[in-house]
């Protein structure tokens, strides 16, 4: 089915893509435990490179990103918790280094804004729906009234005992 | 009631103005986390200082400038004449933190362009830079008499920034600009 050439090409492409992943910017680092290594990886993915605007420390090959990776490694090595590492970076580089902003007075709108907007939309939508329902209810009740009126009129005109006095004109 | 249809239009313009203003801001101007905080402590060997060191506490009681520079940094060449000028016309302590540089390159660079610095601590691996929240050279800090950072500028200083942002901290610079004008 597949020619040998095609198969070779596929194997080659696969190998190239794998080696590409292996040669990413991050230097080799040794850790005391797998848990520390996992923490390191999650931290450098979460911390933002201050020089390169929109890359995390993991992606960036800027010198400062390499320095901050090294610092992160050292801090983990010294037994600092994730929270302490983040606080260290925050104290020196400000909120910018965190891809996930903290909840402060300045960022409150950022965090709550979407929910406020959602609540507003839901509220106004509900109001509109209710208004429409009320209008329809009124319309249908008016229609009901009309139907009853016609029914009564028909009843009155078809019933001889009720209809007679009205039907025969009074000639007195 | 008739004007209700205009609400989306106004909302659109309000959003357009907000985003328009956002576009004019410079995303590279990061707010500094260290303003009005004590200058981070360090003790570094001086460039070619035969073992003598510099520490920010050496300048306690004085208002001084810390300039982060390196011989590999192109913008440092651009701003260097300004520091030469400050050094020749004022007595403001000007510390040049040599950031992630090779000492021999730094020495050659200064020999070519002049050395305005009163002290040159050598931060070879960039650790002190991290403590100060430096993310690249050049950067310039002003430290007050109590040892607090009162100003920080990331990127090269130009004459306009010197006059409008740094001179207000130093009467000596202000008189310099005043005499240049008058």
Determine the distance in angstroms separating the CA of B136 from the nearest CA of chain A, rounded to an integer. Answer: 7
For residue B10, what pLDDT is reported?
93
Say if domain B37-156 classifies as CATH 3.90.79.10: no
Please check whether residue B141 is in contact with residue B127, taking contact to mean a CB–CB distance below 8 angstroms.
no
- Among A102, A120, A140, residue at a domain's last position: A102
Residues 6+ apart with CB under 8 A from B131: A92, B40, B41, B42
Counting one residue from chain A and one from chain B, the pairs whose CB atoms sit within 8 A come to 46
Residues A97, A130 share a domain: no
**Which range among A22-31, A45-54, A89-98, A108-117 shows the weakest confidence by mean pLDDT?**
A22-31
Please check whether residue B118 is in contact with residue B93, taking contact to mean a CB–CB distance below 8 angstroms.
yes
For residue A22, what pLDDT is reported?
44
Compute CA B3 distance to the chain's CA centroid, rounded to the nearest angstrom.
Answer: 53
Residue A152 lies in a domain: yes
Q: What are the two backbone dihedrals, phi and then psi, of residue B6, each rounded to the nearest 5 degrees?
A: -80, -15
- Among A61, A86, A102, residue at a domain's last position: A102
For residue A31, what pLDDT is reported?
84
* Residue in this structure with the two tokens 């329902």, named with its chain if needed: A133
Q: Interior CA angle at B131 toward B128 and B134, to 5°? A: 80
Which pair of structure tokens corresponds to residue A3? 């020619």
Whether B33 and A71 lie within 8 Å, measured CB to CB: no
Whether B130 and A67 lie within 8 Å, measured CB to CB: yes
For residue A23, what pLDDT is reported?
46
Residue A169 lies in a domain: no
Whether B129 and A90 lie within 8 Å, measured CB to CB: no
Residues A63, A86 share a domain: yes
Residues A40, A61 share a domain: yes
Using the predicted structure, report yes or no on whether residue A172 has a pLDDT greater than 80.
no
Residues A31, A73 share a domain: yes
Residues A132, A69 share a domain: no
Residue A73 lies in a domain: yes
The pTM of the full predicted model, rounded to 2 decimals, is 0.73
Residues A113, A85 share a domain: no
- Among A65, A80, A102, residue at a domain's last position: A102
Out of A51, A53, A71, the one facing B130 most closely (by C-beta) is A71
Please check whether residue B109 is in contact with residue B128, taking contact to mean a CB–CB distance below 8 angstroms.
no
Residues A138, A95 share a domain: no
What DSSP string runs through A20-60? HHHTSSPPP---SSHHHHHHHHHHHHHBBPSSSSS-BTTT-
CA distances from A121 to A4, A9, A115, B6 (A): 60, 54, 10, 18
B30 in reach of chain A (CB within 8 A): yes
In chain B, domain spans: 37-156
The reply to whether omega before B138 is within 30° of 0 (cis) is: yes
A61 in reach of chain B (CB within 8 A): no
Residues 6+ apart with CB under 8 A from B36: B148, B149, B150
Whether B130 and A51 lie within 8 Å, measured CB to CB: no
Residues A139, A77 share a domain: no
Name the band, by pLDDT with cuts 50, 70 and 90, for residue B85: very high
B25 in reach of chain A (CB within 8 A): no
Residue A13 lies in a domain: no
The boundaries of the domain holding residue A122 are: 109-157
Residues A128, A75 share a domain: no
């Amino acid at each position: 089915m597949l020619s040998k050439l095609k198969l070779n090409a596929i194997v080659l492409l696969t190998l190239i893509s794998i080696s590409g992943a292996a040669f990413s910017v991050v230097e080799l680092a040794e850790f005391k435990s797998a848990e520390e290594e996992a923490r390191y990886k999650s931290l450098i993915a979460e911390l933002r490179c201050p020089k390169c605007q929109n890359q995390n420390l993991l992606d960036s090959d800027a010198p400062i990103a390499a320095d901050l990776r090294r610092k992160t490694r050292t801090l983990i090595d010294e037994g600092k918790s994730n929270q302490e590492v983040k606080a260290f970076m925050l104290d020196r580089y400000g909120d910018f280094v965190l891809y996930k902003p903290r909840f402060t007075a300045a960022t409150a709108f950022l965090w709550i804004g979407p929910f406020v907007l959602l609540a507003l939309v839901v509220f106004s939508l509900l109001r509109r729906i209710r208004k429409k329902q009320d209008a329809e209810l009124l319309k249908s009740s008016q229609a009901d009234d009309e139907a009853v009126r016609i029914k009564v009129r028909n009843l009155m005109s078809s019933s001889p005992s009720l209809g007679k006095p009205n039907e025969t004109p009074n000639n007195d | 009631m008739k004007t209700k249809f205009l609400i989306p239009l106004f909302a659109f313009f309000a959003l357009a103005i907000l985003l328009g203003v956002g576009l004019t801001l410079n995303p590279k101007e990061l707010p500094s986390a260290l303003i009005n905080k004590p200058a981070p402590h360090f003790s570094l060997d001086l460039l070619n200082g035969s073992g003598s060191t510099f520490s920010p506490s050496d300048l306690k009681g004085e208002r001084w400038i810390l300039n982060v520079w390196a011989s590999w940094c192109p913008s440092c060449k651009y701003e260097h004449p300004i520091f030469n000028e400050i050094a020749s016309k004022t007595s403001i302590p000007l510390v040049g933190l040599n950031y992630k540089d090779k000492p021999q390159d730094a020495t050659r660079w200064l020999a070519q362009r002049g050395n305005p610095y009163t002290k040159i601590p050598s931060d070879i691996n960039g650790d002190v830079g991290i403590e100060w929240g430096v993310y690249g050279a050049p950067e310039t800090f002003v430290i007050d008499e109590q040892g607090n950072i009162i100003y920080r500028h990331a990127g090269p200083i130009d004459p306009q920034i010197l006059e409008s942002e740094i001179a207000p901290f130093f009467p000596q610079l202000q008189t310099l600009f005043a005499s240049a004008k008058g």
